[in-house]
Amino acid sequence: MAQYRRSTEKPILSVRDLVVKFKLRGKTLTAIRNISLDVYKGESLAIVGESGSGKSVFTKTFMGLLDNNGWIDNGEILFGGYDLAKFKNEKEWTKVRGKRIAMVFQDPMTSLNPLKTVGKQIQEAILLHSNISKAGAKQQAIKLLTDVGIDDAERRYKQYPHEFSGGMRQRVVIAIAIACNPEILICDEPTTALDVTIQAQILDLIKALQKKFELTVIYITHDLGVVADVANRIAVMYAGDIVELGMCEEVFFDPKHPYTWALLSSLPQLGIKGEDLYTIKGTPPNLYQTIKGDAFAPRNPQALEVDFVARPPYFEVTPTHKAKTWLLDPRAPKVEPPEYIRRLREQGVTFNG
Amino acid sequence: MDMVKYCLGRLGRALITMAIVLSIVFLLMRLLPVEGYFGDRSDAMNPKVKEQVLKSLGLLDPWYVQLKNFWVDLFHGDLGRSIVYRKNVPVMDIILPKAKYSFQFGMAALVLEKVIGLPLGVLMARYKGKALDKFGNLYILIINAVPAAVYYLLIQLGGSSLFGVSMLYKPTDPTSWILPTISLSLGGIASTAMWMRRYMVDQMNMDYIKLARAKGMTSSQVSFRHVLRNAFIPMAQSLPASILFTISGSLYVESLYSIPGMGGLLVTAIQRQDNTLVQAMVLIYSAISVCGLLLGDIAMMICDPRIKLTKKGGSR
């Protein structure tokens, strides 16, 4: 798959300077702070970051699913000739939502309606976006069930969600998501609620479907193990901003941003028996306040003075790799990545294999 | 087949429950002081006459003999005759005509309650926090906070003077139904709307609603195809019992409009120690309660595929 990412290639989805705000208890919170990101056709992009970093909110804007108290304050989301950020009513959104951009949610146990048969719920998605007959939609739904690896689809079609296991339900959710041949599939922590053996199966399924239907997949996760398994490209989010963006190998083995260092250092796989696991000290910044400088600076023991004053721009490391840290400025002092990161680099071969 | 077996089992247990209830009430009635049986003239009666009265009612037998007699009669379908309230009239002849009135008014009110209450709850949930929701909540609050007696009176007085309808119930005048039916339904509208709103809001916050929205459904499609049905299930459970209990009538409304219904009959019967009448009514009410629960459970099972009454344990 895609090893391209040349600047000449046209992105399928392009986010420009996006700002998302929420009104909460009379105060305004800035959840997304000026993100720009291009997503290319056929790639798998993983958005990683800790809880509250804005990963989900960011992708929800692509589908117009922000909660009622949130709004897009600035920026554009260009997709298929539309600017999604300008969409106002549901009628406009139905052209895109579920049809061209679809989403898989975290918890399959609760994301299906318990009172409707699985088949009806898939059929419903098909009928919403195409003009085929009910019988035709049923045939298509049964085929989808087979596509996502559910045996005996004809019988399963008539069953209710409670008759399915967690992994099987997630397959159904995926079937619903791909029902209308979307161009982009957003997977919001698709395996977090599943046990480990099922996780791998679901990821394999998504990968297989991606190939078969030429999907562009955006994963949202805080599980770096998942990322290493599926992603071509990684976007690291912190406090509502993408602080580092690069190809999978670049971010894993040559990270530049101190937050990426810290995040990777906390990987349990890198821990040494008997030693405490690495943890990031402090708490994420308060998004009710305007953040000055680098949002990660207060938690970064090696922060530079400039980190507290000015927000770093993107510095390009390679044409596909960039990071928002002053450390990449030619004037900056040389700061070595921590011990853990060097160890990761050495382990690189095994990690990849 | 399983279902029939299950229902028979439930009915069997229901009969046992009813037998226990009836026996306890029967014995409690026998614990009351005997003076009640002599009516107003008890002071003037001489002891011999009093004994004669008690004997004729069979009250001088030991309690277990009385209980046995009661059960034997009951098995022959004989609930007995009223001993005080309307002397020597079979109790069912007293109860049935009254129950008919209460049932008619109760059903009219129940229909009104659901027809107005359910949509109100649905709309309040859809426009949660908006003016309509606030108005609805205000209504619910007022109905719950103000004693029913107050607004019953207001409706009776205000309604009859403003619209010129009869202040009392007249069998020949259909418009005389209006005020009592409205009075009966106000409380029910409030509680139906409150619960429907609650269940709707609960469902709207569920994850599957997010998925339904992500499929591309508009919020009104989501409301009608997903939320409404799921929110209605808990309401369905109480419906059979509500229908059956309409025959118990309302003491207050029926006396305000002088409707010859069931409301207050049980209280009067107990006060006047009309044992047979009390027993018959307890039998009816306990049967209603038990059947109401059973039917409610069956209604739930029909609406919710997850509920299997016949199988033990969860399915996963």
**Among B residues 42-81, those touching chain A with beta carbons less than 8 Å apart:** none
B56-92 b/e with 16+ CB inside 10 Å = b?
A: ebebeeeeeebbeebeeebeeeebbbbbbbeeeebbb
Residue A117 has pLDDT above 90, yes or no: yes
Beta strand pairing call for A241-247 and A321-323: antiparallel
| Cβ pair A162:B316 closer than 8 A | yes
Measure in Å the smallest separation between the Cα of A254 and chain B Cα atoms: 36
Measure in Å the smallest separation between the Cα of B229 and chain A Cα atoms: 8
Measure in Å the smallest separation between the Cα of B230 and chain A Cα atoms: 7
* A222 vs A272 pLDDT, higher one: A222
Q: Give, as one character, the DSSP assignment of residue B206.
A: S
Q: Which of B219, B225, B316 sits opposite A90 (nearest CB)?
A: B219
pLDDT at A120: 94
Region A119-128: what's the mean pLDDT? Answer: 94
Looking at every residue in chain A, the average pLDDT score rounds to: 89
Measure Cα distances from B182 to A17, B48, B105, B121 in Å. Answer: 59, 53, 10, 18
3-state secondary structure chain A: CCCCCCCCCCCCEEEEEEEEEEEECCEEEEEEEEEEEEECCCCEEEEECCCCCCHHHHHHCCCCCCCCCEEEEEEEEEECCEEHHHCCCHHHHCCCECCCEEEECCCCCCCCCCCCCHHHHHHHHHHHHCCCCHHHHHHHHHHHHHHCCCCCHHHHCCCCHHHCCHHHHHHHHHHHHHCCCCCEEEEECCCCCCCHHHHHHHHHHHHHHHHHHCCEEEEEECCHHHHHHHCCEEEEEECCEEEEEEEHHHHHHCCCCHHHHHHHHCCHHHCCCCCCCCCCCCCCCCCCCCCCCCCCHHHCCCCCHHHHCCCCCCEEEECCEEECCHHHCCCCCCCCCCHHHHHHHHHHHHHHC
| Cβ pair B229:A115 closer than 8 A | yes
> How many angstroms separate the first and last alpha carbons of chain A?
17
Whether A89 and chain B come into contact, CB under 8 Å, resolves to no
pLDDT at B47: 82
Residue A232 has pLDDT above 70, yes or no: yes
pLDDT band at A8 (very low <50, low <70, confident <90, very high): low
pLDDT at B314: 45
| Cβ pair B218:A112 closer than 8 A | no
Region A261-265: what's the mean pLDDT? Answer: 88
Q: Please give the residue of chain B at the shortest CA–CA distance from A188.
A: B211
Measure in Å the smallest separation between the Cα of B217 and chain A Cα atoms: 7
Whether A169 and chain B come into contact, CB under 8 Å, resolves to no
Whether A105 and chain B come into contact, CB under 8 Å, resolves to yes
pLDDT at A228: 85
Measure in Å the smallest separation between the Cα of B310 and chain A Cα atoms: 16
CA torsion B290-B291-B292-B293 (nearest 10°) is 60
Sign of the CA dihedral running A143, A148, A153, A158: negative
Region A106-126: what's the mean pLDDT? Answer: 92
Ranges A173-177, A189-193, B52-56, most confident: A173-177
Residue A349 has pLDDT above 50, yes or no: no
Region A330-341: what's the mean pLDDT? Answer: 83
Q: Tell me the β-bridge partners of B44.
A: none
Residue A251 has pLDDT above 50, yes or no: yes
pLDDT in tens, A195-207: 888 999 999 999 9
pLDDT at B183: 92
Q: How far apart are CA A42 and CA A2, in angstroms?
A: 7
Sign of the CA dihedral running B311, B312, B314, B316: negative
pLDDT at A3: 47
What ipTM goes with this model? 0.83
Residue A2 has pLDDT above 60, yes or no: no
Whether B210 and chain A come into contact, CB under 8 Å, resolves to yes
pLDDT at B249: 85
- Phi first, then psi: what are they for A188, rounded to 5°? -90, 100
Q: Please give the residue of chain A at the shortest CA–CA distance from B233.
A: A115
Divide the 316 residues of chain B into consecutive groups of 10 and give the mean pLDDT of each group. 82 90 89 77 77 82 88 86 84 90 93 95 91 95 92 89 84 86 93 95 91 90 89 89 88 88 88 86 90 88 81 49
Contacts with A163 from chain B: Cβ below 8 Å: 315-316
Contacts with B304 from chain A: Cβ below 8 Å: 114-115
pLDDT at B316: 41
Contacts with B208 from chain A: Cβ below 8 Å: 110-114
pLDDT in tens, A281-302: 888 888 898 888 899 999 988 8
Percentage above 70 pLDDT, chain A? 96
CA torsion B309-B310-B314-B316 (nearest 10°) is -120
* B10 vs A172 pLDDT, higher one: A172
Contacts with B233 from chain A: Cβ below 8 Å: 115
Which CATH number does B98-272 carry?
A: 1.10.3720.10
| Cβ pair A102:B217 closer than 8 A | no
Q: For testing the chain A interface, which of B211, B224, B225, B232 should be mutated: the one with the most A CBs within 10 Å?
A: B211
Q: How far apart are CA B201 and CA B121, in angstroms?
A: 10
pLDDT in tens, A75-113: 999 999 999 999 988 889 988 999 999 999 988 889 999
Whether A19 and chain B come into contact, CB under 8 Å, resolves to no
Whether A81 and chain B come into contact, CB under 8 Å, resolves to no
Query: Which segments within chain B are labelled E, that is strand?
Result: none
Segment among A6-10, A49-53, A223-227 with least mean pLDDT: A6-10
pLDDT at A88: 85
Contacts with B219 from chain A: Cβ below 8 Å: 90
Q: Please give the residue of chain A at the shortest CA–CA distance from B207.
A: A111
